[in-house]
Amino acid sequence: DAMVIQNPRYQVTQFGKPVTLSCSQTLNHNVMYWYQQKSSQAPKLLFHYYDKDFNNEADTPDNFQSRRPNTSFCFLDIRSPGLGDAAMYLCATSRDVGANEQFFGPGTRLTVL
């Protein structure tokens, strides 16, 4: 089945230790998104790629970076995780922007010790 895959599902890191979260898709979609969802809150868009074009949200901290080496993969790098970065990180894809449905992966729950 075509899908959005996130690895790992659970990630534990130490305060200040860089961590990378992975997302892959078999849908061949043009757009890939990263959302941060803190407990009992709505998902918040961090950034998205339209093909190779990177689009950062204005309020996304510099601590968060992303890479998209090819159509299928997208990575979220947190350079120096703080306790406030503990959250569920959701990857999503869409064929295009606008009316197109976004397909979400299962998420990676990040714990910062």
Partner 1 sequence: AQSVTQLDSQVPVFEEAPVELRCNYSSSVSVYLFWYVQYPNQGLQLLLKYLSGSTLVKGINGFEAEFNKSQTSFHLRKPSVHISDTAEYFCAVSEIYGNKLVFGAGTILRVKS
Shortest spacing between CB 16 and partner 1, in angstroms: 27
Give the C-alpha distances (Å, rounded to integers) separating 29 from 4, 66, 106, 110: 10, 17, 17, 26
Q: Per CB under 8 A, which of residues 74..93 are in contact with partner 1?
A: 90, 92
**Of the ranges 11-19, 39-47, 68-76, 79-87, which one interacts with partner 1 (CB under 8 A)?**
39-47
Does residue 102 bind partner 1 (CB under 8 A)? yes
Binding site for partner 1 (CB under 8 A): 4, 6, 31, 40-45, 48, 50, 55, 57, 90, 92, 97-99, 101-107, 109
